[in-house]
Structure 1
Amino acid sequence: MCGNKRAQNQPNQQPVVCPVPSQQQEFLIDSPVGRVEVPATATIKVPVVVAERTLQIVVEANVPLNPAATEIKRVHKNVELNQVKLVPVSFAPIPGTDFFNVTRAKLFVAGTIRKNIEYASASCNAPLVDRIAHIPFSGFAELTAGDFITPPILAATTDAAAQFLSDKNDLSTRLDKFFFQNLVNFNEQPFGELVSANFFELDFSPTPVRQGAAFNVLREKIVLDLALKVLQVQQFEVTGNRVIPAAASGLLGQG
């Protein structure tokens, strides 16, 4: 009886309402822009994919955990590249130019695997612990002529020198007079672009522990299939239609 009476005296609890201001949008009329196409041949300078490769990276690391963990709840992974460098080692000349097609190269790659590890600690009713680890990796791949979609191109820098005969007897050279010529070609640097990262991993305590016991080191065995593009800015001649927006009616100079 008493318990029911106290319940009856309590005010009815209303649900909390959190209104959000909003504004109704007006309908806007849209129409296509007119187009005028003019046949043309254009020279463009654009990034070109010279190679697209998948590199398999195998990494093993020990991640310290402080406080110690009793159970791994969740692991998020990402990859960050800080180096994608193409080093050419074999060339084929392009006739009539100072440029060479690259026919073989070493592709150097370096970066880090960023892991966000969420785990339960040994304390009772403790919140989940968040541990962020950066695991570095580096390596290189061999690219041959068949691996290039469009070969990278490079132009060499050349130096030349000319000497002169003596002004007195034309039988010896002058050591105080030289002619020098230097040709410096500035090349577009190939660069990398991430495409995808596919992780396969095994995480475990390197020291076997009984169920529910704490461990303070997590051993990571990671296999990463890293897909990336290698690009270089090159110049191309393209034949097609130049598309020009059609002028609106009623402008100055139009009938």
Structure 2
Amino acid sequence: MKNSNSSSTNCVNISKSATVEQCEANFQAPIVAPSAAADPILNVPVILSQVNVSSNLVANIQLPEPVLEIKDIKKRVAITQCRLMTPTVSPGPGVDPFATGDYQLYIEGHVRKNIQYAAPAPYSSGECVSSTMKSFTTEIPFKCVATIDAADFIRPVQLPLTNTRSEFDFFRTQNLGHGFPEKDQFMSSDLSQFHQVSTQFYNNLPYCELVSHSIIEWDEATDRTPLEQGVPYGEGTFQNMLEKMFLQFTVKILQVQHIRVDAL
């Protein structure tokens, strides 16, 4: 290792340890949800609320080939982002981090659809229409913001504490030098030094769990054309489909909190 006097490309001098003597540890009471003071404290996920979210979706789906008929559609809801948008509070005496209010829940995801369909075979003729079974998978995206009223929270949300950063300086006097009276001095702070106190909080982020979903959908062909003459009446194919979907899903909103449990 090069000494501190030699030239080096390292931007941090690590020739000396940054640890000075020993560290001192003092007890600090954790932030605890309001409850009885004598009960044991646990750090566990708690249910803040459980809400049923509704959304309407409309999509145009283009199938990869002409389709004789839809045989089945399997659906699965996937939530890719679920965030409870809450305000922040500044740390200090008298501040309540469990203040209640109406908060917005931002949800983003998609509905995965696997469409199983019959495609007419090229050797269909006469009174018979032969087909092959195929499938097509697509995703219908959605995003929405729902407002959760304060009365709908089972437990209050622990709001995030904001980080703080403050600078401070020291007074310094210097001689003014030639051309100034000897009794006069330059009085200001020292520009060659920088002093700061900073505090950062690691807050627990509320998160979601998907409980259930329900979908009512209408899938209607928009370009259906009859097959050529000689096949059974009413047979035709289409490739474009208009989908109208009413989506409902239930999510639980949770957060890890310190709580007092009297059962122990």
Q: What is the TM-score with the length of structure 1 in the denominator?
A: 0.70
CA contact (8 A) 1:116 1:130 kept: yes
Residue aligning to 1:212 = 235
Aligned pairs for 1:54-69 (under 5 A) are 54-69=52-67
**Amino acid in the other structure paired with 2:137:** I
Moved over 6 A (4+): none
Measured in 1, the distance between the counterparts of 2:256 and 2:92 equals 17
Aligned pairs for 1:51-90 (under 5 A) are 51-89=49-87
Measured in 2, the distance between the counterparts of 1:100 and 1:175 equals 42
SS of residue in 2 equivalent to 1:146: helix
Whether 1:191 and 2:207 are equivalent positions in the alignment is: yes
CA contact (8 A) 2:103 2:148 kept: yes
Residue aligning to 1:107 = 105
SS of residue in 1 equivalent to 2:192: strand
Residue among 44, 47, 56 paired with 2:45? 47
SS of residue in 2 equivalent to 1:199: strand
Q: How far off is 1:208 after superposition?
A: 5.1
Q: What is the TM-score with the length of structure 2 in the denominator?
A: 0.68
Measured in 2, the distance between the counterparts of 1:104 and 1:182 equals 31
Q: Using a 3 Å threshold, how does the CA distance of structure 1 residues 70 and 190 change in structure 2: closer, same or farther? A: same
Q: How far off is 1:120 after superposition?
A: 2.0
Q: Using a 3 Å threshold, how does the CA distance of structure 1 residues 128 and 192 change in structure 2: closer, same or farther? A: same
Measured in 1, the distance between the counterparts of 2:165 and 2:92 equals 20
- Consecutive unaligned residues of structure 1, counting only runs of 5 or more, are 1-39, 242-255
CA contact (8 A) 2:109 2:142 kept: yes
| RMSD (Å), alpha carbons | 2.6
Question: C-alpha deviations, 1:98-128, integer Å up to 9, x for none?
Answer: 8453634332111110112122222333232
Deviates more, 1:207-216 or 1:182-191: 207-216
Measured in 2, the distance between the counterparts of 1:95 and 1:165 equals 30
Q: How far off is 1:197 after superposition?
A: 0.7
**Amino acid in the other structure paired with 1:126:** S
Measured in 2, the distance between the counterparts of 1:175 and 1:94 equals 31
- Consecutive unaligned residues of structure 2, counting only runs of 5 or more, are 1-37, 122-128, 175-184, 227-233
Deviates more, 1:60-69 or 1:195-204: 60-69
Measured in 2, the distance between the counterparts of 1:219 and 1:208 equals 12
Residue aligning to 2:197 = 181
Q: Using a 3 Å threshold, how does the CA distance of structure 1 residues 175 and 94 change in structure 2: closer, same or farther? A: closer
Residue aligning to 1:200 = 216
Residue among 252, 258, 263 paired with 1:229? 252
CA contact (8 A) 1:118 1:130 kept: yes
CA contact (8 A) 2:106 2:144 kept: yes
Whether 1:162 and 2:168 are equivalent positions in the alignment is: yes
Question: C-alpha deviations, 1:38-66, integer Å up to 9, x for none?
Answer: xx943211111112111112111122223
Question: C-alpha deviations, 1:206-247, integer Å up to 9, x for none?
Answer: 235453110011211111012111111111111224xxxxxx
Residue aligning to 2:146 = 141
Measured in 2, the distance between the counterparts of 1:238 and 1:192 equals 23
CA contact (8 A) 1:91 1:103 kept: no
